[in-house]
Amino acid sequence: MNSNKPIIVLLLILLSILGLSSSLFIVAETEKAVKLQFGKMSLADIEPGLHFRLPLYEEVRVFDARVQTLDSAPENFINLEKKQLTVDSYAKWRIIDVETFYTSTGGDYRRAEQLLSQRISEGLRNEFALRTLEEVVASERDTMTEDLKLDLNDIAESQLGIEIIDVRVKKIELPADVSDSIFNRMRAEREAQAREYRSQGQEIAEGIRADADRQKVVIEANAYRDSEKLKGEGDAAASAIYAEAYGQDPEFYRFWRSLDAYKKTFTGQNDLMVIEPDSEFFDYMGTSKASDD
């Protein structure tokens, strides 16, 4: 009997350790937990830290309270222009009311995402039905998702205990036949716009060239006028200088003019002139006469 006592003590210690370990549980800062008694809620939103429970009588369910991502499958929606669009979206969410979350979903994340996905799909369908393709693609895309997030948050929080942090549209596609027709129409519009721009450019270019030609004519006319004026003034000044210089000695002036005439007349070797010998042209060709004068 005494030989079995250590074994019994060891078994009691092991059972105590197992009982204590099964009675204690820890809730992390990133988690939310609820305590159940035979499947019924007894304590919700347990604070982070070390806690105690009664084994076999109380059950603890712990959930991740960090941000989760719901990546929905692409769906087809009809927009305001009655065009079918294939929309791929995602949402960011987290648990804020663990009691409501557990009550509405049984603590099943897949069930929660299924319910959330249905509500997001309905919201997107309604938002797309109110907008054109251009609005959902460009001008009102952010406004649309922000409005959808605000509308869904009240429902998701009250019914699922979930906060929707963000809803985003990743991609919007058109069916192949619709996409081709829209692409062709957009290409035709761009080509028409390009032709209009080219036409406007040619018109402006013609105006610039015409103005340049006009300025060229005006500049050349002004330059010719100024050059003729300067030339005339130069000729007048030269004539005045010549007249003043030659007026001081008329005989020398006649002599100089005669030499210049001889120089210009007898430049060629085969020049022939028929002039009377006593012509005035030869006044300075004879030295005796020149001396007499």
Whether residue 104 lies inside any domain: the answer is: yes
Whether residue 229 lies inside any domain: the answer is: no
Residues 88 and 51 in one domain: no
Residue 112: give its domain's CATH number: 3.30.479.30
Of 157 and 179, more confident: 157
**Domain that includes residue 35, residue range:** 13-64
DSSP element (H, E) containing 287: helix 287-292
Average pLDDT over residues 108-123: 89
* 184 CB neighbour count, 10 Å cutoff: 10
pLDDT, residue 92, reads: 92
pLDDT, residue 275, reads: 60
Residues 58 and 75 in one domain: no
The percentage of residues in the chain with a pLDDT greater than 90, rounded to a whole number, is 14
150 sits in the region (left: phi over 0; alpha: psi -120 to 50; else beta) called alpha
Contact 87, 74 (CB under 8 A): yes
Q: Using the 8-state DSSP alphabet, how is residue 250 labeled?
A: H
Lowest mean pLDDT: which of 29-33, 85-89, 180-184? 180-184
Checking if the pLDDT of 122 tops 70, the result is yes
Q: What's the CA gap between 197 and 159, in Å, rounded?
A: 57
> Is residue 232 classed as helix, strand or coil in its secondary structure?
helix
Whether residue 118 lies inside any domain: the answer is: yes
Of the candidates 132, 164, 180, which is a domain's last residue?
180
Residues 46 and 90 in one domain: no
pLDDT, residue 290, reads: 42
Average pLDDT over residues 143-159: 86
Q: What is the pTM of this model?
A: 0.52
Checking if the pLDDT of 266 tops 70, the result is no
Residues 149 and 52 in one domain: no
pLDDT, residue 14, reads: 67
Checking if the pLDDT of 187 tops 80, the result is yes
> Is residue 220 classed as helix, strand or coil in its secondary structure?
helix
pLDDT tens readout for residues 93-102 = 999 998 889 8
pLDDT tens readout for residues 196-216 = 999 999 999 999 999 999 999
Checking if the pLDDT of 91 tops 80, the result is yes
Whether residue 115 lies inside any domain: the answer is: yes
pLDDT tens readout for residues 227-244 = 989 988 888 888 888 777
Average pLDDT over residues 87-113: 89
